[in-house]
Amino acid sequence: MEIGFLEQNKKMNQKKSKSAYYLINLMIQFFVETFVAMIIGCFIGKYLDILIFEDKKILVYVFIVLGIFAGLRNFIKRALAISKGEEDEKN
């Protein structure tokens, strides 16, 4: 009887640590993807501003904001996939 309880407790702790791992992984991916998208947007915006606008930095801001939204979109998609349990099926 005691062994069954210990095994259940061990399984619950493994699930908690696995969900904590997914949460930390999700947050790190969000920040890295958002940062990279913002940097790429900044370079594309600078290049297009040089071609189209001489002294204005309009497209730099537009592409940085698009990079932020792309990072948020990916974060929401991953969070929904994890909450539905699709991530567990892949592993």
Which residue matches tokens 């990916």? Answer: 74
For residue 10, the model assigns a pLDDT of 61
> Is pLDDT at 2 greater than 60 in this prediction?
no
- 28 vs 84 pLDDT, higher one: 28
| Phi, psi of 56, rounded to the nearest 5 degrees | -105, 155
What pLDDT digit, counting tens, does each position of 22-60 carry?
Answer: 788 888 989 999 999 999 999 999 999 999 988 888 999
For residue 38, the model assigns a pLDDT of 93
Give the domain extent around 45: 2-90
For residue 25, the model assigns a pLDDT of 85
CB 14 within 8 A of CB 37: no
For residue 90, the model assigns a pLDDT of 54
Give the total number of structural domains in the chain: 1
